[in-house]
Amino acid sequence: MNHVVIYNLLEEDMTDERVEKIEKVITDVVAQSEEIRPSPELSFTFLHDPTVKSDDIPVVIIVELICDDSFESANWLKNRIAMHIGQDFRKAVRAWREVGKVKVGVNFRHHNNGYYAS
């Protein structure tokens, strides 16, 4: 399964409307990557730590995508997707607050690499 985990959001980011906006931004970036076809469905986990109360702690976004062998080590594609997710996330969140640092990691996994589906 393709999955996104987001750490260190503030309390004000955790409303249904804002979570949906963040999900849409990340989903749109992945969907616009022509190399990844068909566009994967993404599941999301938002890990909220109530002790995070300022922009001094970076938001961390981890994206895991299952792909075929040809893209498993494509660093140029990982970097491009990560850059666009970071930029678009920052633009979206600026609608309601200033954003500190954003760190994005993208990982490709081969569909047979430690996963089971039936």
Q: Which one-letter amino acid corresponds to residue 62? A: I
pLDDT of residue 2: 87
CA 50 from centroid of its chain's CA atoms? 21
Distance CA 58, CA 117 (A): 34
> What pLDDT digit, counting tens, does each position of 88-103 carry?
999 999 999 998 899 9
Q: How far is CA 114 from CA 1, 17, 109, 110, 111, in A?
A: 11, 34, 9, 8, 8
> What pLDDT digit, counting tens, does each position of 14-50 carry?
999 999 999 999 999 998 887 776 667 899 999 988 8
**pTM metric for this prediction:** 0.86
Query: Considering Cα of 109, then 32, then 46, then 48, what sign does the dihedral take?
Result: positive
For 2-110, the fitting CATH number among 3.30.429.10, 3.10.180.10, 3.90.1150.10, 3.30.420.10 is 3.30.429.10
Q: With contact defined as beta carbons under 8 Å apart, do 61 and 102 qualify?
A: yes
